[in-house]
A and B are shown apart, each in its own frame.
Chain A
């Protein structure tokens, strides 16, 4: 018997909710056709991923500087800045000098600073002597495949640290009946934050290997992660 599948367009319209009263027959088909169901799931997953995409990025400060010069506002307004970056500066007492080129990883690193005992002053940038035109460009272009490979490579290099992280996770899993769920969930969130911060700082260093401050930050981030895990393990032992 020949099976008549809905067209691809019909499946897209179904996912979009554009079939109206005609959707029942297609839904019925999809519910009993693994092939069409798989296609619908793929479309739905893509839609979810797109819906979750970031829609907000603070532009480089040089953009506002250029606008000011064009509208003649130089004497009036302070340069707008990212709340997250300003928040980090307020937390750490860091100066407001910023390197646009490095700014993308700062908020993540700022998140990790929360966990550092006595972190003190953390200044994440370095004096930037480039022209405003270069700054406005946001730094040199890096093919995303290179960045991705770099991040994966760095993640692999962190295996030694991952051993202790896995130890914490297995402890939580083993003791799950004794550890409140909200605490376990919180630990997992912190771990993910710290791991992401570590991977991102190391990727930043991979793209700028001569930046000694980044190198120090990589080291500091890794130590924070290990310290967090160690102290949490100790706390759980006493729980």
Chain B
């Protein structure tokens, strides 16, 4: 009755269904060194990677660099990609690892800030939710400690299963669930009492 389905981690919002065969061909051509095919793959998958990076890093410059690192890594590792896997999911995993690596290596992170690209997260959601509600949500996310935000974004927005998050973040599933519940409560309080 109360269950809400989490969004499935998909290859890309632009690659569902109709492009599946094309993507496979593009991946094959890019793997053979076709830069044009790689550009097409970038065009298909970079928006999802960039949006993820913006939320995880909280900074447009870091997000741009994570996106760059991700696709350079994808290019270098194309020969290792197995066609039976989902290319978008593979790229997404590389992006998450790139972002986590950056977050771990930068202990003196500046405060979460919102620049113009970050507002796109708010402005162009496929949603009827009000603009100010989405602004409040992104603001609340920005006030979370890094670990809480990482867990929350990957679980609640990106839809990662707890089992996979456990491996990515080196946390037990029990600890992850507790973290998600605590974070939900904190965000609800922030949304209900913005001050």
Q: Enumerate chain A interface residues (CB-CB to B < 8 A).
A: 8-9, 12, 14-17, 23, 27, 40, 42-44, 46-60, 62-64, 66-68, 70-73, 76-82, 100-105, 107-108, 136-145, 147-148, 151-152, 196, 199-200, 204, 207
Contacts of B47 in A (CB 8 A): 56-59, 82
Q: How far is the CB of B5 from chain A (nearest CB, A)?
A: 8
Q: State A100–B50 Cα separation when bound (angstroms).
A: 14
Contact A70 B72 (CB under 8 A): yes
Q: Is the CB–CB distance between A77 and B48 below 8 Å?
A: no
Known A59-B64, A107-B124: A54·B51 in contact at CB below 8 Å: yes
Q: Are B181 and A104 within 8 A (Cβ)? A: no
Q: Would you call B46 and A80 a contact (CB within 8 A)? A: yes
Which B residues contact A (CB, under 8 angstroms)?
Answer: 1-4, 6-7, 12-14, 35-36, 38-40, 42-43, 46-52, 54, 59-61, 63-65, 67-68, 71-72, 75, 113-129, 131-135, 137-139, 142, 156-158, 177-178, 180-181, 184-185, 187-188, 191-192
Q: Contact at A54–B125, with CB atoms within 8 Å? A: yes
Given contacts A82-B47, A138-B61, A141-B113, 12 further A-B contacts (CB under 8 A): A12-B184, A42-B188, A52-B126, A55-B158, A57-B120, A59-B117, A63-B46, A67-B75, A72-B35, A80-B42, A152-B132, A196-B123
Query: Across the interface, do A47 and B156 meet the contact criterion of CB distance under 8 Å?
Result: yes
How long is the Cα–Cα vector from A104 to B116 in the complex, in angstroms?
6
- From the candidates A47, A57, A81, A144, name the one contacting B54 in the complex (CB within 8 A): A57
Q: A44-B4, A57-B117, A139-B115 are in contact. Are A144 and B135 (CB under 8 A)?
A: yes
Q: Which of chain A's residues have a CB closer than 8 A to the CB of B126?
A: 52, 54
Q: Are A67 and B72 in contact (CB under 8 A)?
A: yes
Provide the residues of chain A in CB contact with B7, threshold 8 Å.
51, 55
The answer to whether B60 and A55 have CB atoms under 8 Å apart is no
With beta carbons under 8 angstroms apart, the residue of B135, B157, B178 that contacts A9 is B178
B20 smallest CB distance to A (angstroms): 18
The answer to whether A141 touches B156 (Cβ under 8 A) is: no
Kindly state the separation between the CA atoms of A123 and B38 in the bound complex, as whole angstroms: 30
Q: Find out whether the CB atom of B39 lies under 8 angstroms from the CB atom of A73.
A: yes
Q: Decide if B119 touches A59 in the complex (CB within 8 Å).
A: no
